[in-house]
Structure 1
Amino acid sequence: MSEPKRDEVEAQLRLILATPAFARSPHLCRFLQFTVERALDGRAEEIKEYLIGSEVLGRGAGFDPRTDTIVRTQAHRLRTLLQAYYADKPDSPVVIGFAKGAYVPIFRRPSVPDAPPAAGRIHTGWLLAAAAAVVVAGIGGWWVGARSAVSGLEPAPARFTVDLSPQGALDVDRGSLVLPPSGRSALFPLIETNGVRRLWIRSLASGVSRPLVGSDGGYLPFWSPDESQIGFFQNGRLKVYRLSDGQMRDLAEAPLGRGGAWSPQGTILYAPRSSGFIYQIPEQGGQPAPATFLAPGTDENDHRWPEFLPDGRRFLYSVRARNKDHNCVRMGSLDSHETTRIFDHNSQTRLAHTRTGDFLVFARDGSAWAQPFDVKAGRVTGQQILLLEGVRYSNVSGATFSIAGEHYLVYHDTEYSRTAVSLLDRTGHVLKELTQPALLMGVSANAAGRMLALEFGGQSREPGDVYVGETANFAPVRLTFGGAGYAAWEADGHALIYLAMRDGLSILARKSTQAGAEETVLWKPAHPIFPTSVSADGRWLAFHEDRPDTLMDLSLLPLDPLTHTVRGEPVSIRKTRFNETHGFLANSGRYLAFVSDESGQSEVYVTELGSDGHPGFTRKVSLDGGVHPRWRQDDGELYYLSPTRKLMAVRIEHLSSGTQFAKPVKLFDTLAFGAGDSKSPYAVSGDGRSFIINTLRVDPQGLTVHAVADWVGLLKTRHLTVN
């Protein structure tokens, strides 16, 4: 085989230097270019450690290789990065390399044809990315464990960390890092430093992360089998995104998506809401159809987290029941209504095909576990084994781990984004920090803005509990116990109405803020509800309801302010095929502001109310989108958050000829957390001069995840016996 010619070597050098891994390391670029050019010019004798250190790496004339190891260190990194480059590009016509301990490059043709990787060998995409990060970061970067080239040796698990992007934090409330089977890329939801939430993708070969244009607000992404497309949830819809050109297709309604999966035959499974069952739809679109059914005669209330088995017909899914002891993971089929119980706890479960056999990997009790699984028979066959600690599971955002076959397991131990509640004036200036960063999920104030209620998050995104205090000197006192949220104040600030979980059931409850007060049950709704506000006279509670037939519907619940009981059936305000949410009652009781997506995006509307609570004339008051409307106490101004989290204000004049709403004006930009969720991200003082905002605190360490290469080796170290 002929030796490479000069022009071939130079062309290969240009290709290598153009890769992102080298582009981020000027020192290594100069090192490689200097040594290659000297060798091509026949001046290999000039390639000495002293010359490289003093001139190429900038140590100057005083460089002493006996005490300064920079040349040897950089040479090691250069060899590592070149090995990773050729592992990812085995068809390169010219190989540029360095023998260990030498600085003169070697040029040769590939000596062997490309062959499939041996079992257990580290995947090239991760190898290149890991090597690149070692080069760039120097220390504290990704680490790649050495692999033996001797056939038959069992590779040991290698642990390293992955820094996904410097431009934000992992949006742990909207999903986790998701690997495809090849392990070549990773999808993840990102909270950018400016507060924008969208999906990003990282090429693990180049180490480059980029946002997916148009995916703002997207969450819970999942891969197509050929890795050319992704599915995800956005603005109450299930969507498909083609990675080659960013083309998106809208497939189906999904107001509160809870996981999706994509079969090789082109069927997509998805859980469209927080209750009910899993649906199926062709990848090109069509009429959705149920893929699972709530078992009759049981207390099952929702199915989520579908995962296809290799045949593309059977699938795993998580079952939640009112009695948590009945939670489980089941196996269903597109060809039958019959299901098989797999094990007795609910979690997002993934199938891993390995050289040791097939395993189900799932999160439980703050750890990742694996259990042998007979795919053909559809049953577990051995004991559960603890793999790793520090892995979480959330009923809202899923498990905080992902796997790529037998090669990689990535995970993080952050279950929530951290926020802090601040008091701001109308210019956005922070007047006072009311809390330290914590797991805060909702904020509400009474009509005067003097009393504040915060929901501190519980485990696995289950309802936390409500704490109350005076806004001026906020010292939170715990009001509820056992799980509660979505708190709405009665106008005088003496009691709250909220959603609670009691004995496995969702109830609407009331409790006074007086010491020793008891909780009373107001209502046991048939469908999931989300209370948002109470009228000033205590006669109405605004809420929206998740119904399987008409999506989110807006209603008023009639209350008796004297007996503190429900005095009748709910009055429907909006019941359409669109989502109507975030109803907030004006202090006068004359108006209800709410959000609807009937225009194609969420907008703020105001409807006039009769004395019987029934709606009258309705008008749109927001421009270019809006959520979470709030009233000033005198009804003279309405506020809302824009899609980019700007706090907007609408002046209102009450004239004899009618009510006039002015054009919305921007007050200031915010980082309000949960602006697109049902839980309240802010509250308003009675005079509209200050705002209490639950503000996202982007953790600079929030985008580091942990990874284990050859994670199957953990099974052996845990002494697992496969039956």
Structure 2
Amino acid sequence: PLARALPWTLVAGLGGALLVVLLPALRTPVSATVTAEIRPPPGAAFDIRTRGPGPAAFAPDGSRVAFAAQGRDGATLLHVRALADGRVTAFPGTEGAQFPFWSPDGRWVAFFSRVDGTLKRVPVEGGAPLHICRAANGKGGSWGRDDMLVIAPSSGSVLYRVPAAGGELVPITRLAAPFNSHRHPRFLPGGRRFLFLARAVRSTESAVFVGSLDGGEPRQVTRSAAQAEFAAGHLLFARESVLMAQPFDPASATLTGEARRVAEDVLELSGAAFSAFSASANGRLAFHTGAPQAPVRIEIRDRQGGALDAVGQPGTYRAPAFSPDGYWLAVTGFPGATGTDNHDVWLIDLRGKGALRFTVGPEEEIDATWAPDGRSLFYGSNVEGPHDVLRKSLDGAGAAEIVYEAPGLQTPTDVSRDGRFLLLESGKGEQSRVEALDLANGEVWKLREGPFDDSRGRLSPDGRWLTFVSDESGRPEVYVTPFPGPGRLWPVSTGGGRFPAWREDGREIVYAALDGRFVAVAVAAEGESFRLGAATDLFRGAPPTRDYQDWGMSPDAQRFAIVPSGVLDAHNELRLILDWPARIADR
């Protein structure tokens, strides 16, 4: 069978009903409100990182719980635990699973994949995952009657409906200020209307709404920094890590009565606008508590993967980028414990190893890209909605300026050596495009058109060639093509690849293979043609994901900055409450 079941020791029941659980996988009560703790499989940890969590999701009947867990090999897979007998099933082919959700009959689990940027569904009783649609960086979904799904396909998108069997994505909400994304839909009884979160830059302005499949005007229910769910006649939502339940009338979309505490210490992922809890239709509740990942330092390695140094304070980071002179790293994230700060751009001095905070504010910054003279940085920021591209000088003179704004998610990926062209990854809905911006006259053009996903464009040092990633073949592969194009494509990767980078002399491209290997390919331009030489495996890291680059390469390709995941060293728990409505009735 494709799915792998892990039987563990069984013990007896809790909460007045027979619940066969795992020991030590499911422990006896840890507090007055917690019935049990569910542990991850041996040698694995719950992958609930803010950037793409796979939190627990209860099956509608409460018999099973789905979650994502990362193993020692760095791969994250979807798992399902049956509460009746304690068996855990891991599903191969679900690498990078995030935000799982169930079909109404409990026979399927849908999930977003960080690895290939798609939405898939897998049969719980075993079988290969089936493709539903593209979803560059999914932020939650819900499965309604008639096999209609409502999903948030990316971090800056509206909500779409799509058949579970696949098909056209149809937008059913519209973004308006102050909101920069719609996410985490949850169907209400009847299967036509749903709850969803409208996220704002300032979390105090975010709100839960009720929307409908016909795309009618949503109705605001309550202000909330994270999502809400409906169960047992109540709206469940978190306030400062306390899970609350308040009577809710789904017909009128109004709250009634008093909100009461259900559980404390619920993990809140502010960067994802998400509280990590899930409720079933029969009164069961699961929630994560603790830290999603351990703070990490950025590792500097040589071409063989050998450790050279560790830099920066322990924290949460992504997308390290070496400066053109190789003396600095630009990263996005924050030092300290997870959840204590916003994602800003930080500069780390690789000689003195000090760090400077480059951006300050409530906005989220992503994908810092150096100007070729090393005197300014381009980066994505959601200062006015979904991320646009800003530029800021390193000398601190003047405020950051918006250099490109457009509907959807816009991020910079490279700047030509002469400083004229800025390469962009432009995402709208479920699809992304490589675009080029002429910084001299403001002209923007797409490098290619078609029903595929192009991303991560990087220019050769002489500006004549473009390497990028495309799923035109059915999986992400690295290609080279003339710039500004059009022209022939030369495949660089075999077996899938992401995040290509040029060596400063233009004679080598390094990329991350889908299995985590770093691969170097010798290349040479010959007039209007392009020649690829031998490919060499350098060392192995974690499998790359669709949207977040966890490594950067020095200009001479001799050093690599690697961001460890911090998942296996995190301290967190998955707790289970039986019959939570009875508990709040007794209070």
| Structure 1 residue aligned with 2:541 | 670
| Structure 2 residue aligned with 1:229 | 108
| Structure 2 residue aligned with 1:97 | none
Question: Does 1:399 find its partner at 2:275?
Answer: yes
| Structure 1 residue aligned with 2:155 | 274
Question: Does 1:378 find its partner at 2:253?
Answer: yes
Higher alpha-carbon Rg: 1
| Structure 1 residue aligned with 2:207 | 328
The one of 198, 203, 216 aligned to 1:319: 198
Shift of 1:649: 0.3
Shift of 1:230: 0.9
Shift of 1:558: 1.5
2:473 is paired with a residue whose SS is coil
| Contact kept in structure 1, 2:237 and 2:245, CA below 8 Å | yes
The one of 704, 710, 716 aligned to 2:573: 704
CA distance in 1, matches of 2:390, 2:36: 47
CA distance in 2, matches of 1:691, 1:145: 43
| Structure 1 residue aligned with 2:320 | 443
Shift of 1:436: 4.8
| Residue 421 to residue 382, structure 1, CA distance change in 2 (3 Å) | same
| Residue 325 to residue 128, structure 1, CA distance change in 2 (3 Å) | closer
| Contact kept in structure 2, 1:324 and 1:504, CA below 8 Å | no
Structure 1 segment 283-362 matched on structure 2, within 5 A: 283-290=164-171, 292-294=172-174, 300-321=179-200, 327-334=206-213, 337-353=216-232, 358-362=233-237
CA distance in 1, matches of 2:297, 2:270: 21
The one of 369, 382, 388 aligned to 1:488: 369
| Residue 370 to residue 598, structure 1, CA distance change in 2 (3 Å) | same
CA distance in 2, matches of 1:697, 1:634: 34
| Residue 630 to residue 279, structure 1, CA distance change in 2 (3 Å) | same
TM-score, with structure 1 as normaliser: 0.73
| Residue 711 to residue 640, structure 1, CA distance change in 2 (3 Å) | same
The structure with higher relative contact order (CA 8 Å, sep 6+) is: 2
Q: Which letter does structure 2 place at the counterpart of 1:715?
A: I
| Contact kept in structure 1, 2:319 and 2:552, CA below 8 Å | no
Question: What RMSD in Å do the two structures reach over aligned CA positions?
Answer: 3.0
| Structure 2 residue aligned with 1:637 | 508
Higher mean Cα deviation, 396-405 or 453-462? 453-462
| Structure 1 residue aligned with 2:40 | 164
CA distance in 2, matches of 1:268, 1:323: 29
| Contact kept in structure 2, 1:122 and 1:709, CA below 8 Å | no
The one of 349, 369, 392 aligned to 1:470: 349
Shift of 1:239: 1.7
| Contact kept in structure 1, 2:37 and 2:573, CA below 8 Å | yes
CA distance in 2, matches of 1:157, 1:710: 11
Question: Does 1:586 find its partner at 2:471?
Answer: no
| Contact kept in structure 2, 1:420 and 1:697, CA below 8 Å | no
| Structure 2 residue aligned with 1:142 | 27
| Structure 2 residue aligned with 1:694 | 563
| Contact kept in structure 2, 1:411 and 1:707, CA below 8 Å | no
Structure 1 segment 540-619 matched on structure 2, within 5 A: 540-548=421-429, 551-560=431-440, 567-609=441-483, 613-619=484-490
- Cα shift readout 1:498-538 (whole Å, capped 9, x = no counterpart): 12233657442222223566433323333320111122221
CA distance in 1, matches of 2:404, 2:527: 39
Shift of 1:336: 6.5
Q: Which letter does structure 1 place at the counterpart of 2:242?
A: S
CA distance in 2, matches of 1:442, 1:123: 49
Q: How many residues are matched?
A: 571
Decide which structure has greater strand share.
2
CA distance in 2, matches of 1:341, 1:543: 35
Q: Which letter does structure 1 place at the counterpart of 2:573?
A: T
The one of 20, 27, 36 aligned to 1:128: 20
Shift of 1:20: 4.3
Q: Which letter does structure 2 place at the counterpart of 1:278?
A: L
Q: Which letter does structure 2 place at the counterpart of 1:328?
A: A
Q: Which letter does structure 1 place at the counterpart of 2:521?
A: V
Q: Which letter does structure 1 place at the counterpart of 2:498?
A: V
Shift of 1:710: 3.6
Shift of 1:269: 1.9
| Structure 1 residue aligned with 2:143 | 262
Shift of 1:289: 3.4
Shift of 1:228: 1.4
Task: Return 5+ residue gaps in structure 2 as ranges.
Answer: 1-5
Percent of pairs with identical residues? 28
The one of 231, 239, 243 aligned to 1:368: 243
CA distance in 1, matches of 2:308, 2:386: 40
Decide which structure has greater helix share.
1
Q: Which letter does structure 2 place at the counterpart of 1:211?
A: A
TM-score, with structure 2 as normaliser: 0.89
| Contact kept in structure 2, 1:649 and 1:665, CA below 8 Å | yes
